[in-house]
Structure 1
Amino acid sequence: MEVFNLRLQFFLMPIIALALLLVVPTINAQTPAPAPPPTSDGMAVDQGIAYVLMLLALLLTYIIH
């Protein structure tokens, strides 16, 4: 019976070792930090002012004509 037990151990130990090799690195895995939000360089503000000025120019030309 001891020989069978020893054979079973020699068979199971590599399987357990491979399973641990696959599982252990993922235990300590950390999720990466989220990307920082894009910083505003003022381009959206400039574009908003341009739209308002174009609307104002359109209204002014409509009123004049």
Structure 2
Amino acid sequence: MGSPFLLVSVVSLIVGFFLPSAQANAPAPAPASDGTSIDQGIAYILMLVALVLTYLIHPMDASSPYKLF
């Protein structure tokens, strides 16, 4: 082990293999849901519907003979 690069690489491999396994023993807690994710999903769907309707109605306004603005 004459080169410092070899020493650093061996030490980093040892730390990389054994250090994460020492902390991986605790199980993750179960996710708790109070219904806010469902509300947020409904809000995203409604916003998408509003966006699609806006783009569908907007070309009809441009082609009408009555220009309000």
TM-score by length of 2: 0.42
TM-score, normalised to structure 1, is 0.44
- Between 1 and 2, higher relative CO (CA 8 Å, sep ≥ 6) is seen in 2
Larger % of helix: which?
Answer: 1
